[in-house]
Amino acid sequence: MDSRVIKFNETADFILQRIGDRPEVAIVLGSGLGALADKIENPVIIPYSEVPHFVQSTAVGHKGNLIYGTLNGKKVIAMQGRFHYYEGYGMEQVTFPIRVMCSLKIKALFVSNAAGGMNTAFRIGDLMIIRDHINFLPNPLIGKNIDEMGTRFPDMTRPYDLELIKSAEEIAAEHGIKLQKGVYVAGTGPTYETPAEYAYFKSTGADAVGMSTTPEVIVARHCGVRVFGMSVITNEAHDLDSTAADGYKNDHKDVMAAADKAAQTMSFLFAQMIGQL
């Protein structure tokens, strides 16, 4: 057996001992989006520091806990904070929790993030369904394939599950929730992008930009797990002309504030979708 699989199983066994049952859905909560964890009933909270083979989340707004419980009648496990490449972690460390979730036999993965909106129709606080992505981070599948978990060359034609996207749109329409839909592009960070980089990413067909998510999605799809992704638009990703005109700059405190404001709506939507699985 691949030595990496042994570590995944060791961590999965530890979590199972603590929670007593297998979760049906895993959720990754991005910057400022940890509020969904408060809606999980009968929670079992496990700090990352106690989990074998986990690294520590150092990003602002990431509490660093696994939270298991029920959400709208379904057994879920949520990551209250993720690991990033910009923190100095390699792709195996960044995606290790997703491998563990797959070892726990989850049926679906819900990922969220804070992102800059490059689409001029987007406004701060909008929720964007991720319909596709462009990955400028190292591909987490580079290296020896983990044959026990997936094929060497996994298909990425539909990385984000079409049925889950349809479910989100139907629930949003029923409850009068405005949703955007677009392509998410992931860069390394930790610097926010330059206006020229925003213009370049926009020219490639991207609508929003961030520093995470795509490696997790790639690994989940390698394992054959369904994925739903959502970005909270927390800042305007301006081109050079507009930034020169208005003196705009990106500030992480503002990003966090926008994420906090939108977190309740996203939490409601996720809970409704998970209840229908």
| CA 192/CA 60 separation, integer angstroms | 15
**To which H or E segment does residue 9 belong?**
helix 3-19
What are the phi and psi torsion angles at 58 (to 5°)?
A: -105, -5
The residue to which tokens 């990352």 are assigned: 48
Let me know if 187 is exposed, middle or buried by CB neighbors in 10 A (0-12, 13-18, 19+): buried
| CB contact at 8 A, 100 and 52 | no
| CA 255/CA 31 separation, integer angstroms | 8
Catalytic residues: 31, 62, 84, 86-87, 114, 211-212, 235, 252
Residue 186 vs residues 15, 76, 136, 139, 241: alpha-carbon distances, Å: 30, 26, 6, 11, 23
| CA 155/CA 226 separation, integer angstroms | 13
Task: Residue 168: name the closest of 205, 203, 129 by CA.
Answer: 129
| 13: CB partners within 8 A, 6+ apart | none
| CA 206/CA 184 separation, integer angstroms | 6
| CA 184/CA 135 separation, integer angstroms | 8
